[in-house]
Amino acid sequence: MKTVWFTLFKKELRLGWMAFVIFLILQLLLMALGVFLNFRYGDDGNVAPIVIGVMLTILLLFYVPVYLLFTVIQERKTFHIWMQNPLPGWSMLLAKLSGALVYFIGTTAIVGTYTWVSLMRITEMPQELSLFRITMLAVLILIWSGIGGGITFLFLWMVQRTMRSRIGKWAWIVLIVGIVVYSIIDGKFIESGAFAFLTDWGPIQNVSVLHFVMPDGAPTTLSTDFATADPIGLTVGDIVLDLVKTVIMFILAAWLTDHKLEAS
């Protein structure tokens, strides 16, 4: 089974190569624009690579779902072949997600290096600020968002494919309505006491974040400002609940693949 999985994994890499190249070319063009503006305007253009690097880093939050969308569009005419794979649903979905993460990590390394070099050239950067720790934090957030976004997309894709085999083109409309209804219910749940009960523990303090990115000590005025500022509103409970929801979506997507999905 391992050999079959790696064969499927390599197929996913081949399938996603074009999407990876297209995204990479667009990113490299923007990076080149930042470098050009920097050379064109000298010190006044130093901010251009930083702005472009930060912008590309933020866009990486959506990389995995958009990448997967490209690949499933490419695969729509050969979906029945994918369904004939002898592997269980969770393994097939994991191969698809793993392929996306490989290209995601490669792209993140390129964008991260560009942004890092751009930030290193800032002479006004506070000496207490650890660029390495900021990078670690950003990478963790990006990987967390990439996995969560990828699994969410795969779940919605499986739901859409399952409905399509039963109600045809109406599946998209039903899916969109379902997403809207879920968003409304989720919004009400977040405002409820049950959500607070599940997530209102392990608060992450502003000062803790400040001390992480400034391990050698922050200026007194900055520490005071962070201590008196509104909390970031994130708790360990939020992270755990998000993890549980992601695991449930992956399990449901795998179950749909094994028991409800039909080639269509």
Query: How confident is the model at residue 223, as a pLDDT?
Result: 56
pLDDT at 53 over 70: yes
Tens digits of residue pLDDT in 191-222: 888 888 888 888 877 777 777 777 766 565 55
One-letter amino acid identity for 203?
Answer: P
Tens digits of residue pLDDT in 26-35: 999 999 999 8
- Phi and psi at 129, nearest 5°, equal -75, 125
pLDDT at 80 over 70: yes
More confident residue, 236 or 124: 236
Name the burial class of residue 157, with classes exposed (0-12), middle (13-18) and buried (19+) by CB atoms within 10 angstroms of its CB: buried
CA 9 from centre of chain: 20
Average pLDDT over residues 74-97: 85
Tens digits of residue pLDDT in 37-52: 888 877 666 788 889 9
Percent of the chain residues past pLDDT 70, beyond the cut: 89
Tens digits of residue pLDDT in 148-160: 999 999 999 999 9
Identify the band that residue 225 occupies on the pLDDT scale cut at 50, 70 and 90.
low
Query: Residue 207 CB: number of other CB atoms within 10 A?
Result: 14
Query: How confident is the model at residue 221, as a pLDDT?
Result: 59
Query: How confident is the model at residue 122, as a pLDDT?
Result: 75
pTM attached to this predicted model: 0.87
